[in-house]
Amino acid sequence: MKSIFTGIIITLACTVLTCCQGRTVHVGYDPDIQDYTPVVSDILSGFPEGNVKLVFDRATYPFYPEKAHRKYLRISNNDNGFKKICFDICGMENVSIEGDSTSFLFHGGMVPFLIGGSAHVSLKNISIGYDKPFVLEAEVVSSDLKNRTFDILIHEDNDYEVSDGILKFKGYDWVSGLGENICFNPETRSPYYSTERYETAADRPLEAMELGDRTVRLSGTTAKELPPVGSVFVDKGPYTHNRLYPGIVIRHSKDILVEDVTVHESGAMALIAENSSDIVCRKFMTAVRPGSGRMIAASADATHFVNCDGKIILEDCIFESMLDDGTNIHGVYMKVDEILSPSSFKASFGHVQQEGFDFAGKKDRIALVDRENLKTVATGTVTDIAVLDDNCYTVSTDIDMSLYSGRKLAVENISCCPDVTVRNCTVRFNRARSLLLSSPGKILVEGCYFASMMAGIRICGDANWWFESGRTSDVVIRNNIFRDLGNGGWSPQAVLQIDPVIPHEGRDMENLFHRKITFEGNTVYSSEDQLIYALSTDSLSVRGNRFIYSGTYPVRYPGLSVIDLQFCNHVEILDNDFSLWKKDAGISIISCNDVRNNAPVSVTENPNTYYYRN
């Protein structure tokens, strides 16, 4: 039948979506339609409960922000604010967005997909991109060591202006100044070795002078060294203002499938999910457009999961060209600021990008944690919770709070503990880590390839800086390849980095933070001295791995032990192949019980002196 949309034919036909009868809407491509935002909005509004599949042609569909839905969104680990949303899939069930190698091109600061309070939603066979990238990229064409200046040739994809000595890059409806920056090596498509030496302070903007022909001279750097000529200078704008436009936002939803989806640009995380369950990302990819010559696709993580539950499955994914992690799966600690009564307390967030997060609901299980040592001191149930403002909550509980007066406490929601599977995935060409895993559920990482700038797999827990919670209970990391990780960052970065942030004086062998971690059958290529760092782990198995010295880079932190164990219990280091590793390697063991070790390397007390308070 004819649609109300001029020039577009919409064919309605009955089809089966999941277990419900629904309709298929063919959204045909018409070059005379300049903006598909109202087209999509009107179709979805015609199915307020869902039960609809939108099918798109193999074409590039343009979307503009003027007629987008506007909502104020508080998104954990991103920047809160009013968002212009195209595919607003909220309060719906059985919704499928399906393309045929279809490209969605968004103009300006838009959030392409919001899935909120919905179930059984799938996104398939599409790509997400923007008219202008949210990251400035420029080739360093010359430098002047005496005057501490360097000249950059700005990439043709970036629009920019220089006014009153300030360089700004911009898009259809947004403008950003300079801020957080890094240098990439165009030959490897990755951050430079020890790239932090080229990093200038984000809170002291560089001075700019227009030279013509898209060339700009920058001065006033605080970096230790000027960026190398030929490098790519990358800047994503000021902190707390550069995570505004995530690609896919999933909130309070369940049974979500993202399959054969590529994100070419995003102005924050490519995909962020919070308080949701049962999410599958299969053949999900972050990547620059072929032939673009650019370094960056997502300006933050490829994927990020906060307080999720059920199953999280990442399978056959490629996460590359991000300015943060491949994935980060964790909960949230709130600070306990004041005990109001024996059954209630006031709490706030420790990090600005958590403010407004939907922390817990009635009947959720919570745990009180001592921030000095990360030990759980009590568990109980939320009987009521009130949000006074974005950073002030009152929580009522069946825990007797009077017992903990004067303690420095945090609180976490322990009702959320997803099982995680990461299988046959690749993480490369990115700043930061490959995976951050902090879930009490079962975690399996297998058949993957990791080649990030910092740690390969970090298993943390922190109630004093990022306030990301999640003690692990069963982690298996097997049959993966790790290549030349830890070549950048302000501290050593291990291939396997188990580092709950416990101050030195708070460490002991009681109530160890992480429970069981298995690292087996992996192949590790590295130039660094340290490959595994483990703190406060109750059961650690390192078996049947091959450790191979690559010689790709100079050692950044010499003298560290290949394996560093502190306050661990039930450890086995068995049947690993060190034949191609460094001949003078050693294993450091401090305050550990029940260690079985047949590695042909010396055992010493050589703790990592670069980590906090060691």
Are 472 and 574 part of one and the same domain? yes
Q: Which residues contact 148 (CB under 8 A, 6 or more apart)?
A: 219, 220, 221, 226
Please state, in angstroms and rounded to a whole number, the distance separating the CA atoms of residues 258 and 99. 12
* Torsion angle of the four alpha carbons 286, 520, 512, 367, in this order, in degrees rounded to the nearest 10: 40
Structure confidence at residue 12 (pLDDT): 39
Look at strands 442-446 and 474-478 and give their pairing: parallel
Domain boundary among 195, 212, 235: 235
Looking up tokens 């300015």, which residue turns up? Answer: 323
Looking up tokens 């130039």, which residue turns up? Answer: 527
Whether the CB-CB separation of 482 and 454 falls below 8 Å is answered with: no
The chain-wide mean pLDDT, for the chain, equals 95
What is the token pair recorded at 519?
Answer: 């690292």
What is the token pair recorded at 203?
Answer: 């809170």
* Torsion angle of the four alpha carbons 444, 449, 451, 457, in this order, in degrees rounded to the nearest 10: 10
Structure confidence at residue 568 (pLDDT): 98
Domain boundary among 354, 385, 413: 413
Specify if 356 maps to a domain. yes
Q: Which residues contact 31 (CB under 8 A, 6 or more apart)?
A: none
Are 372 and 437 part of one and the same domain? no
Are 248 and 376 part of one and the same domain? no
Structure confidence at residue 205 (pLDDT): 84
Structure confidence at residue 611 (pLDDT): 67
3-state secondary structure of 585: coil
Are 396 and 500 part of one and the same domain? no
Structure confidence at residue 16 (pLDDT): 32
Specify if 430 maps to a domain. yes
Are 231 and 258 part of one and the same domain? no
Please state, in angstroms and rounded to a whole number, the distance separating the CA atoms of residues 24 and 565. 57
Are 495 and 596 part of one and the same domain? yes
Segment holding 496, helix H or strand E: strand 496-498
Are 387 and 345 part of one and the same domain? yes
Say how far residue 572 (Cα) sits from the centre of its chain: 31
DSSP per-residue string spanning 427-463: EES-SS-SEEE--SSEEEEES-EEE-SS-SEEE---S
Specify if 3 maps to a domain. no
Radius of gyration for the chain, computed over Cα atoms and rounded to the nearest angstrom = 25
In whole angstroms, how far apart are CA 154 and each of 53, 169, 230, 235? 41, 10, 12, 11
Are 115 and 46 part of one and the same domain? yes
Are 41 and 148 part of one and the same domain? no
Q: What is the CATH number of the domain that holds 257?
A: 2.160.20
Please state, in angstroms and rounded to a whole number, the distance separating the CA atoms of residues 251 and 273. 6
What is the token pair recorded at 321?
Answer: 């060209």
Domain that holds residue 209: 136-235
Q: What is the mean pLDDT of each run of 10 residues along the chain (614 residues)?
A: 38 36 91 98 98 98 98 97 98 98 98 98 98 98 98 98 98 98 98 97 95 98 98 97 98 98 98 98 98 98 98 98 98 98 98 97 98 97 98 98 96 97 99 97 98 98 95 98 96 96 92 97 98 98 98 96 98 98 96 97 91 50
Specify if 530 maps to a domain. yes
What is the token pair recorded at 521?
Answer: 């059958």
Q: How many domains, the chain?
A: 4
Please state, in angstroms and rounded to a whole number, the distance separating the CA atoms of residues 181 and 188. 18
Looking up tokens 């943060």, which residue turns up? Answer: 324
Q: Which residues contact 198 (CB under 8 A, 6 or more apart)?
A: 182, 183, 192, 223, 224, 225, 226, 227, 228, 231
Are 424 and 452 part of one and the same domain? yes
3-state secondary structure of 289: coil
Are 460 and 547 part of one and the same domain? yes
Domain boundary among 354, 380, 413: 413
DSSP per-residue string spanning 560-571: --SEEEEEEEEE
Looking up tokens 């060294």, which residue turns up? Answer: 225
Specify if 521 maps to a domain. yes
Are 280 and 382 part of one and the same domain? no
